[in-house]
Structure 1
Amino acid sequence: MRFYLTTHKRHWIALTDVPLFLKYEHFGVGTARSLPRAIGRYAIDSGGFTILQRFGRWTTTPQQYVDDLRRIRDEVGPFDWAAPQDWMCEPAIIHGGTYGGQHFTGTGLSVAEHQRRTVANYLHLRELAPDLPIVPVLQGWELPDYEHCVSLYHRAGIDLTRELLVGLGSVCRRQSTNDGAAIVTTLATHGIRLHGFGFKTLGLKKVGHLMGSADSAAWSYHARRRPPMPGHTTHKNCANCLPYALNWRTKVLAELPASIPPVRLGGY
């Protein structure tokens, strides 16, 4: 499993060769005169959860998205892959309201419509940018939803078992539960190479061996609840600190089960 360290600090890609995962918006393509050059691998999240939470719809057109991805590729360096502009299926995203102190606008659409739009967007992006490694994403809420999403791709002529990687959406908040584990296990059994968005240590220990890759920002939450590292006297905690993030990543990887063979990804 390739483990990406999630960060909102775009300059980190010029400071470490550890695989990084960044939201598209954090590159600041619309305002930045120049972008840092990556010295390691990285992948790009479209930031759909935040956008749909705020606006209940996508505010960036597919053409603008691929234009910006091309600039990132050309200036920062080739990325492993980028997520499409998919539609998350968490109840908060669909119905709206306040959850955990956060306001959600709500799309007012159904899970099935979110899935249809997710697949349609992937097909559109692939048509607009066959030169970019944009991966399909499976969306749903219950296991039958994800199996239905697989069938939507199949009807569109996309064999997910032949894809380099397939994102697994709307699972991060249930990753360590039995339901979350069942979704990952079933889809992996189908021969789909999954990427787990936003996985934490419990989820990684439970199903990480079944995925091709995963990303996590759990290090930042971990740091906010602890004093800063020795010598880090300029900040009250290390929630935005690269050395802390790298130490956390090393410890997490060391604690993952070593007896379970990794998923082989060919040239990936």
Structure 2
Amino acid sequence: MLEKVTFPLFVSHRQLARRPRRRPLTAGCRWALDSGGFTELSLHGTWTIPPDAYAEAVAGYAATIGGLDFAAPQDWMCEPVMLARTGLSITEHQHRTVANYLHLREIAPDLPFIPVLQGWSLADYLRCVKLYESAGVRLAELPRVGLGSVCRRQSTAEIAHIVATLAQGGLRLHGFGVKTGGLHKYGRYLASADSLAWSYAARRQPPLPGHTHKNCANCLTYATAWRQRVITELEHACRQQDLFDLLTKPATRSAA
């Protein structure tokens, strides 16, 4: 789709790495790169791709494909299932996430890697902010800051409160894996977000009229219509949403 669309896309490194190198690819849109961290940690319990190799791949994408707005680092998610998989604590995942960003920035300062906040509770995310600050990273001065570990609870009041609190601190957040429910709750406080919800929905429905494929899970026409519908709904919803409510709503306590 990178060659065919004009609206922004979020593309996985795992997918691009599988492409035959002999096939040239030039982006027709602005796009961002997902490191594929959730899959990597789910499969292996650790990162098996050295940072230098990942940075080299990102450099290749930026040079040959073009249009790269930002790239996620090799971060460490903090969902309970991921902690169980790695055997590490939230604090250790946060330290490794920050350390990887600093390392990538050091070895490839010209590439648009973004810092990612990881945690589970609001206190966790605020602690992660302080880790970056201690390393001299001024998050509020950056064009984008990733917000991780929200996908599987992305439409909850707790995440809405976390997003609003961080946004009040001046952070331009990118929400990873934010579905429509989450976008309706706090989309106006995100600078950007990605989602595969459209593909999952299409996989469970018959193809669009006149389409000959089994379903529209990889269909540009379906994706374009889904995106436009979500944007229209959000424009209406955001006019009715109140930031004060999100900032003052007590966050639900969750086990880390």
TM-score (norm 1): 0.86
The equivalences for 1:48-127 within 5 A come to 48-95=37-84, 106-127=85-106
> How much has 1:176 moved relative to structure 2?
1.0
The equivalences for 1:218-229 within 5 A come to 218-229=197-208
The equivalences for 1:114-263 within 5 A come to 114-233=93-212, 235-258=213-236, 260=239
Q: Indicate if the aligned counterparts of 2:198 and 2:217 stay in contact, CA closer than 8 A.
A: yes
The structure showing larger relative contact order (alpha-carbon pairs under 8 Å, at least 6 residues apart) is 1
User: 1:38, 1:124 → 2: CA distance?
Assistant: 27
Residue segments in structure 1 that go unaligned for 5+ positions in a row = 1-11, 96-105, 262-268
Q: Indicate if the aligned counterparts of 2:176 and 2:195 stay in contact, CA closer than 8 A.
A: yes
Match of residue 42, structure 1, among 31, 42, 67: 31
Paired residue secondary structure (2:69): coil
Identity of aligned residues (%): 56
Paired residue secondary structure (1:71): helix
Structure 2 counterpart of 1:15: 4
Deviation string, structure 1 residues 158-204 (Cα, Å, up to 9, x no partner): 11111110000001211211111111111111111100111111111
Query: How many residues are paired up?
Result: 239
User: 1:13, 1:236 → 2: CA distance?
Assistant: 22
TM-score (norm 2): 0.90
Paired residue secondary structure (1:21): strand
Q: Indicate if the aligned counterparts of 1:139 and 1:169 stay in contact, CA closer than 8 A.
A: yes
> How much has 1:257 moved relative to structure 2?
3.2
User: 2:31, 2:163 → 1: CA distance?
Assistant: 23
Paired residue secondary structure (1:206): helix
Q: Indicate if the aligned counterparts of 1:84 and 1:121 stay in contact, CA closer than 8 A.
A: yes
Q: Indicate if the aligned counterparts of 2:29 and 2:67 stay in contact, CA closer than 8 A.
A: no
More helix by share: 2
Runs of 4 or more, structure 1, over 3 Å off, are 257-261
Letter of the aligned partner of 2:48 in structure 1?
A: T
Q: Indicate if the aligned counterparts of 2:62 and 2:68 stay in contact, CA closer than 8 A.
A: yes
> How much has 1:82 moved relative to structure 2?
0.2
> How much has 1:35 moved relative to structure 2?
3.5
User: 1:176, 1:230 → 2: CA distance?
Assistant: 31
Letter of the aligned partner of 2:199 in structure 1?
A: S
